[in-house]
Amino acid sequence: MKTSIRKILIIMLAWSLIGYSFPMQSVSPPLSEMVKKSYLEILDLSQGAGYSAGEFDSYRKQLAREEEAEKARLEKERKDFEGEIKALRQELEVLNKRASRDSEETALERRQLHCRIVKLESRMKESEIARKQGVPIAFDNKRAKLALLQQWPAEARGIGQAISAGQARARRFGNVEDIGVRAISEGQEKDIKLGQDAINEMKAYGLFPPEWEEKVVNDYVRYLAETLAVNSDLKIPLKVTVLESDEVNAFALPGGYLFVNTGLIARTETESELVGVMAHEISHITARHSAKLMKRATIAGIIVEAAQVAAMILTGGVVGIGTYYALQYGFLGLGLVLDLALLGVSREFEDEADQLGVQYAWKAGYDPRGFITLFDKLATEKGYVTTTSFFRTHPPYAERILSTFRELTYLPEKDNLRVDSLRFQQVRQHLVKLREEARKQPLQRPTLKRFPDCEEELKKPVAAGTVQKPVLPNCVLCAAK
């Protein structure tokens, strides 16, 4: 009896020891779920992630298959729209054979066909943009998150060792305490004429959206720009202009010209997000990225090419006033049509602008993670077209995410870094209200009356499962929107 009890006790003790020695392990979520998380969440989770190299490789191959499948789906969608347009044009041909003049009934039928064609052309163009640019951007974001998850633990250890060894300032642009007196790129003043020439050419071709004329928003954006300028390596005056455009973007031209779209201000949720984008663009100016990329290009040639692209992408071939409205009301805007050399965008220079932008935001007293938080929100937004412009000029790839987090980790700690402000929220709400009110008012500027009023016709679905978009009261504008 005692022997049996002893055996039972030994077995129970063994099980308790097994339970103590091998606690239940938490299972990491599938990589397909991890890439849906924000970059900052992944940064925290990467230290405890237990994925093997094989799992990462397998999921990267899965992403490649999914990307090709999505491109194929969008190409089929584009062809379907193309077929519908062809059928509608054939209906117009039949209509034209009925009589030499339109009756009231025929005129109404013709108007409806025109409007349906315009809308289908717009949707077909969106499918093409999504396939060629939106889908690669979306999957590049997922691959960047995978790289962060896989590589950050080793990166963090290396940074910690460098800081401990007193080597933090040995990195590129590591002398952050010398911002304002250090030499990043000499000759900024030489770029002023280059930037002004570009602006003049763009205005001549009708590529520039109208300037936002309201004082409250302009004063605030200029205040932010000036705050960043005095905490940067800028050696020339900064001229900032707010543009009236739905495009979620900002861009800089050589020589100190900074442009901020109302669409960006409305889309950012905190002051540090807006500051992050503006600091990034100012960095392109201080490092003279445009001038370095444009050694073999001419301003005139670049702008002519931009005008050609705008005519095809933004307005489906409608130029002049149609382009003007597309740039004002469209999501795509200048970021999709301007030569990236003019904006100083290349992988090498984007890395530099990310690093310098983070430093300038930090020096000005803002949370330097603002650019990443906005980047992340746009990357995870549903739909491809609305963020295509932003990611064309700020391409997502693994190294830029890693290098940005490296710089964030290297920076000396600062207390009370600003994330948001009451003034930002007040200005943003003021802007959103003004934009909503403007939408309700008849357009005061001249319109290109190429088609009749299509508002009611364009509210009708053109294909099963088609998501309807808000429309403006003129078909040229509808196509642009």
pLDDT > 70: what percent of the chain? 74
pTM: 0.80
User: Number of H helices and number of E strands within the chain?
Assistant: 21, 3
Q: What is the pLDDT at residue 335?
A: 60
Instruction: Tell me: pLDDT of 440 over 80.
Output: no
What single string gives the DSSP state of each residue in 449-476? -SS---HHHHTS-SSTTPPP----SSHH
pLDDT band, very low/low/confident/very high, at 57 (cuts 50, 70, 90)? very high
User: pLDDT value at position 431?
Assistant: 96
The encoded tokens of residue 7 equal 């055996």
> What number is the average pLDDT over the span 27-55?
88
From the number of C-beta atoms within 10 Å of its C-beta (0-12, 13-18, 19+), residue 206 rates as: middle
- In this predicted model, what pLDDT tens digit does every residue of 15-33 receive, in sequence order? 444 444 444 444 678 999 9
User: Does residue 27 or residue 379 have the better pLDDT?
Assistant: 379
- In 3-state terms, what secondary structure has residue 257? strand
What is the structure's pLDDT at 184?
A: 92
134 — pLDDT class (breaks 50, 70, 90): confident
Mean of pLDDT values over 380-387: 67
CB 218 within 8 A of CB 237: no
Structure-token match 């959103």, residue found: 432
* Mean pLDDT value of segment 348-363: 94
Give the tens place of pLDDT for each residue, 445-467: 444 444 445 655 444 444 433 33
> Which ranges in 130-209 belong to alpha helices (H)?
135-164, 192-204
Residues 201 and 283: their CA atoms lie apart, in Å, by 24
Q: Residue 282 in contact with residue 360, Cβ under 8 Å?
A: yes
Q: Would you give the DSSP letter of residue 182?
A: S
| Residue at 312: amino acid letter | M
pLDDT exceeds 50 at position 479: no
C-alpha dihedral sign at 78, 473, 264, 236: positive
pLDDT in tens, 174-190: 999 999 999 998 999 99
Is the pLDDT confidence value at 292 over 70? yes
Residue 391: predicted pLDDT: 75
Is the model more confident about 115 or about 300? 115
Task: Between 423 and 468, name the one with better pLDDT.
Answer: 423
3-class secondary structure, 412:
coil
The Cα 136–Cα 438 span in angstroms is: 35
347 DSSP β-pair partners: none
> 83-87, 238-242, 462-466: which has the minimum mean pLDDT?
462-466
Average pLDDT over residues 246-270: 92
Per-residue pLDDT tens digits for 401-420: 888 999 999 999 999 999 99
pLDDT at residue 315 above 80?
Answer: no
Helix axes 135-164, 370-379, angle to 10 degrees: 150
> What's the confidence (pLDDT) of residue 151?
93
Q: Please list the residues that pair with 418 across neighbouring strands.
A: 366
Task: Confirm if 148 and 405 have CB atoms less than 8 A apart.
Answer: yes
Element of type H or E holding 186:
none
For residue 38, give Cα distances in angstroms to 148, 149, 380, 401. Answer: 11, 11, 8, 12
Provide the pLDDT for residue 448.
40
The 10 Å Cβ neighbour count of residue 229 is: 24
Helix or strand or coil: residue 401? helix
Question: Other CB atoms closer than 10 Å to residue 463's CB: what's the count?
Answer: 11
pLDDT at residue number 74:
93
In angstroms, the CA 84 to CA 406 distance is 51
Confidence of residue 346 (pLDDT cuts 50, 70, 90): confident
| Domain limits, the chain | 175-458
d(CA 45, CA 36): 13
Q: Rounded mean pLDDT of the chain?
A: 80
DSSP character for 177? G
Which range, of 223-232, 256-265, 318-327, 364-373, averages the lowest pLDDT? 318-327
Sheet holding 250-253, edge to edge: 239-243, 257-261, 250-253
Rounded distance, CA 302 to CA 341, Å? 9
| Average pLDDT of the segment spanning 296-324 | 52
Q: What is residue 301's predicted lDDT score, i.e. its pLDDT? A: 61
Distance CA 451, CA 114 (A): 7
Does residue 456 contact residue 475 with C-beta atoms inside 8 Å?
no
* CA-wise closest residue to 330 among 241, 430, 262: 262
Confidence category of residue 204, pLDDT binned at 50, 70, 90: confident
Write a three-state SS string for 79-147: HHHHHHHHHHHHHHHHHHCCCCCCCHHHHHHHHHHHHHHHHHHHHHHHHHHHHHHHHHHHHHHHHHHHH
pLDDT reading at 252 higher than 80: yes
Amino acid at 284: H
Instruction: Give the pLDDT mean for 142-149.
Output: 92
pLDDT band at 296 (very low <50, low <70, confident <90, very high): low
* b (16+ CB within 10 A) / e for 170-194: ebebbebeebeeeebbeebeebbeb
Query: Minimum mean pLDDT among 31-35, 133-137, 168-172: which range?
Result: 133-137
Q: Check whether 299 has a pLDDT greater than 70.
A: no
What are the CA-CA distances from residue 155 to residues 47, 148, 151, 403, 431 (Å)? 11, 9, 6, 10, 41
